[in-house]
Amino acid sequence: MTEWISVEDKLPEHGFSGYVTNGRQILLGVIYDAINNKWWYGTTDGLKITHWLTIPDPPLLTPKQQLETEKLKTYEELQLKLGKAVLESLEYFYRKDKQ
């Protein structure tokens, strides 16, 4: 498991975005500006950050989960294709009706 890193021991690279804490809260989406040595959260700068943590990689999927993910992707692609076919059919009948 990834450990929290103290800002006193090491600062992240410029543009880092991950978990940070000020000792009371854990925030996600804070960006480190190494050029100005500031932490940004939205438009707020100058946060007092004590530790940071990179976002861990997602867990590996089981073969069954991989299959379900592929099925979902195929289903979404099919929905897009069917949607396009339906629209083309409607356009065809609309044009035919206007003639």
Q: Which two tokens stand for residue 46?
A: 């100058």
Residue 75 to residue 91: CA distance in whole angstroms: 24
**In sequence order, which residues have a C-beta less than 8 Å from that of residue 42 and are 6 or more positions away?**
29
Domain residue spans of the chain: 5-53, 58-99
Residue 47 to residue 41: CA distance in whole angstroms: 8
Element (H, E) at 58: none
Residue 1 to residue 5: CA distance in whole angstroms: 13
Q: What is the mean pLDDT of the chain?
A: 82
pLDDT at 29: 85
Query: Is the pLDDT score of 52 beyond 90?
Result: yes
